[in-house]
Structure 1
Amino acid sequence: MLFYLTILSIFLILYLLYILYNFLETKRHQKCYLLDYQLYKPSDDRKLSTEFCGEVIKRTKNLGLNEYKFLLKAIVSSGIGEETYAPKMVFEGREDRPTYQDAIVEMEELFEYTIERLFKRSGVSPSEIDVLVVNISMFACMPSLSSRIVNKFKMREDIKTYNLCGMGCSASLISINLVDSIFKIKKNQLAMVVTSESLTPNWYIGNDKSMILSNCLFRSGGCAMILTNKPSLAHKCLLKLNCLVRTHHGSNDESYGCCIQTEDDQGRVGFHLGKNLPKAATKAFIDNLKELAPKILPIRELLRFGIHLATLNFFKNGQKKSTRAVINFKTGVDHFCLHTGGKAVIDTVARSLGLSEYDIEPARMTLHRFGNTSASSVWYVLGYMEAKKRLKIGDKLFMITFGAGFKCNSCLWEVVRDMEGVENVWKECNIEDYPPQTIMNPFTEKYGWIQDEDINTFKVPE
């Protein structure tokens, strides 16, 4: 009897060890790593100088005196420099009549620059990619852009492709969330994410102020990245995804309509940025942080915040509070990748999180050098940190993005490999010159006087 009990005990122990091994092995394969990424840098002949921007505005026939002055004011206060990039058709003077082929060429240039370099540097071949996710919000074609990539790089027949449209500036984190979900159920996967925006067919030629503003903010850019859940590649990867939180306020009509592609009174399609956009962004941001904070902050900070908040509520005595409880995200985060939606977006997030000028320097410099590159903007911010040698093993990196819908998506990465030796487009921009002693907007000197000019005496230059 003792013999059988011993045998049974051995089998039971082995079975429990087998279950534990499978559990740990599954967890090991469910991690999401960033193996490598490649930013897009268009050729220098696509740079938007101060003078050329003025020429583009002047040749827009539908603009009146008020709209002309409004655009110049916007570009003066945008925080954007004169080394950002625009599509080819703008330099050819055809922004009012782009062709379908123009949009295709814009995307092909992005694919050739980023994907080819990424494959070469990472050592991954196109045939090894199991999943491909492409997010270009404002351009859809047939076959899809993901199919074009599969055809161009001759990827496998069983590759799983996803083509995301209409997801706005927060689309890259949505793509990563999709990849991470796939990694939870499939082992040993390699996934590619391509994130950008198509400006060619979406240049607004009307005179609605809420729609012409997008022409001042959005610039050409993009990024391709390879993610994996292969344990064998973990030591080669740059970042590990710790958590990702998505917030969607699309059920609220005000939030839904504050950032939307639509037609103006003349039937001209453009991208409307409503006056209630800051309010919608703030609501989504707060709700996102409420869910994210417990996932990334130490317990001591959560307790401190809770005690502080309870104390303020207890002593307020029905009067308006002069102070408010503020949670310190720096206790769980070392670096902040902020979406470069505009100077006001960066400033608002910085105030909300209590960030220093050092913390937001990468976002400010990205806006100044590359502009708002939509869903790829946070990757240029990451590239700046990398080129500046800020990222060390074990550091926590917080990404925050906003997008139409209205959406706020954020995630926390952990640096798992020294990133000092990796080349990126910022090194080609003389990274040693950033940040400059004074960030002078080149448009201020030429157009800044307009802010104080009497509208009745202002003359549109010939």
Structure 2
Amino acid sequence: METKNPNSTVPGGEDEETQINFRSSIRLKYVKLGYHYLISNAVYLLIIPLLFAAAANLSKSHVQDILHMCNYHLRYNVLTVITCTSLMAVLATVYYMSRPRKVYLVDFSCYKPDPSLLCTRGMVVEKVSTILSKEGADFTKKVLEREEAEMIICGAIDDLFAKTRVKPRDIGILVVNISAFNPPSMKLRGDVVSCNLGGMGCSAGLIAIDLAKRLLQVQPNTYALVMSLESMTSNYYAGKDRSKLLTNCLFRMGGAAILLSNRFSDRRRSKYELTHTLRTHKGADDRAYRCAFQEEDEEGNLGVSLSRDLIPVAGQALQANITTLGPLVLPMSEQLLFLATLVARKVFKMKVKPYVPDFKLAFEHFCIHTGGRGVLDELEKHLQLTQSHMEPSRMTLYRFGNTSSSSIWYSLAYAEAKGQIRKGHRVWQIAFGSGFKCNSGVWRALKTIDPAKEQNPWTDEINLFPVPVPTMSPLRPLTTVIHSLE
């Protein structure tokens, strides 16, 4: 009996067809990469022949002829030379004074909750409410709200001041985003420009960065302190509506303090330079406006409802945001391919798939808001990202949960702790929030981050990550959790 090798390929069979398709995809990949390099360096390819042509023409002219021509023009056109020089000086001064000031990220600090806080404050309120009167339970909740917020704010900002050696009196701009809490003063100076952003949802972190950037354009030589957090206790829902109970499971305690500067002297010690901020708001669409909505239930309990339209609405907001961001960050090769596909579909009515630009050519790192596993899966699919690109966001969701507006900073801290940030690398922070809003922040690394010199929430446990994240995991009893901490 004739035996067949299971590893051999049959001519014309499925294995050979798969191998041919694989080889074709590999060839197309390198063709596209070569096309990208060609378009990106097209300017240099055009300049070099022009320089050679100019050098050839100058070589034909005698040096004395060139000097004689220069002396002639200088002798009889002194007034013209002075006028042109003065005009150029004025224009240069106007340009220098009116150009946007560069904004640097000196450093940032993320708050790491103590392990003893694993039993959330909402659970404490729920237990206390069974043995106290309504007035006593409300008073306890107010105390916990203030303690929680001050713990995060003071912890993150104190750590940031210690790392940057900046004193509170040096801060000229303060932007705090928190939906339902009045932040403390932090003993800043009397003329500090203080802004408190409320009701902006999970995308408020990048809105605060954008606001601080705009304020830094009109206040020279100053620091801006941005504090992004959310108060878990004040947003705890104690009702029975399932659409509102979901937020109690999603959100976790966390916060981040960010120090920005427009001082050129701070460039040397800063980590990143802010290159772009972009805000997209879809609130005109009722479906988008109500997909994450705060309202009272039938019993008068205030909570945030999350509808089933959240994921598709987030996809539409992302599409609108990246359509505007693309021309600002994508290389010319990707822009030409996108334009060619658009013309083919709209003008010539050709049945071709819409071209999705390769944002991996524009960014080395992606810090995506950890709104949930479904949100990360959708972005990985639509942006065609790899597992390594999604690792910071997925590990942040696994370890710290959804920390609202500060989640993108925990993702960036993960990349720093892993030693992935190199000088010149570009970072794209993407945040989603109620409204519905999609915001982007683009940073360029000014130096290589040495993880050995960094101190952030990941430092003590970064060697344990990444870990496989299960689709579902059973809940452990509270007694088991407490015993594991002892």
TM-score by length of 1: 0.80
> 2:260 corresponds to which residue?
227
**Residue of 86, 91, 111 corresponding to 1:19:** 91
Checking the alignment, whether the CA contact within 8 Å between 2:109 and 2:256 is kept in structure 1 is yes
Larger Rg: 2
> 2:106 corresponds to which residue?
35
C-alpha separation between the residues in 2 aligned to 1:317 and 1:5?
60
Q: State the 1:401 CA deviation.
A: 0.4
The amino acid across from 1:155 in the alignment is: L
The amino acid across from 1:10 in the alignment is: I
Checking the alignment, whether the CA contact within 8 Å between 1:394 and 1:416 is kept in structure 2 is yes
RMSD: 2.4
**Residue of 157, 176, 200 corresponding to 1:134:** 176
SS of residue in 2 equivalent to 1:130: strand
C-alpha separation between the residues in 2 aligned to 1:444 and 1:393?
42
Pick closer, same or farther for the CA change 1:171–1:445 going to 2, 3 Å.
closer
Q: State the 1:5 CA deviation.
A: 7.0
SS of residue in 2 equivalent to 1:182: helix
> 1:297 corresponds to which residue?
330
The amino acid across from 1:17 in the alignment is: A
> 1:209 corresponds to which residue?
242
> 2:310 corresponds to which residue?
277
> 2:157 corresponds to which residue?
115
SS of residue in 2 equivalent to 1:424: coil
Could you report, residue by residue, the CA deviation over 1:329-351 in whole angstroms, capped at 9, with x for unpaired residues? 11111110011000000000111
C-alpha separation between the residues in 1 aligned to 2:348 and 2:399?
48
C-alpha separation between the residues in 2 aligned to 1:364 and 1:190?
32
Could you report, residue by residue, the CA deviation over 1:403-439 in whole angstroms, capped at 9, with x for unpaired residues? 01110001211001222232211002x1011012x33
Larger RCO, structures 1/2 (Cα 8 Å, 6+ apart): 1
Q: What percent of counterpart residues are identical?
A: 36
C-alpha separation between the residues in 2 aligned to 1:231 and 1:21?
17
The amino acid across from 1:35 in the alignment is: V
C-alpha separation between the residues in 2 aligned to 1:364 and 1:132?
30
Q: State the 1:317 CA deviation.
A: 6.2
> 2:192 corresponds to which residue?
159
Pick closer, same or farther for the CA change 1:130–1:419 going to 2, 3 Å.
same
C-alpha separation between the residues in 2 aligned to 1:94 and 1:240?
47
Query: What are the within-5 Å matches in structure 2 for residues 161-310 of structure 1?
Result: 161-310=194-343
Q: State the 1:11 CA deviation.
A: 5.5
> 2:419 corresponds to which residue?
389
> 2:50 corresponds to which residue?
none
SS of residue in 1 equivalent to 2:268: helix
Could you report, residue by residue, the CA deviation over 1:244-266 in whole angstroms, capped at 9, with x for unpaired residues? 11001111111111101111111
SS of residue in 2 equivalent to 1:444: coil
Q: State the 1:105 CA deviation.
A: 1.0
C-alpha separation between the residues in 1 aligned to 2:288 and 2:305?
13
Confirm or deny that 1:411 pairs with 2:441.
yes
Structure 1, unpaired ranges of 5+: 49-85, 448-462
Pick closer, same or farther for the CA change 1:94–1:286 going to 2, 3 Å.
farther
C-alpha separation between the residues in 2 aligned to 1:3 and 1:301?
52
> 1:432 corresponds to which residue?
463
Pick closer, same or farther for the CA change 1:309–1:23 going to 2, 3 Å.
closer
Structure 2, unpaired ranges of 5+: 1-73, 130-136, 478-486
The amino acid across from 1:19 in the alignment is: L
> 2:63 corresponds to which residue?
none
Greater Cα offset, 121-130 or 176-185: 176-185
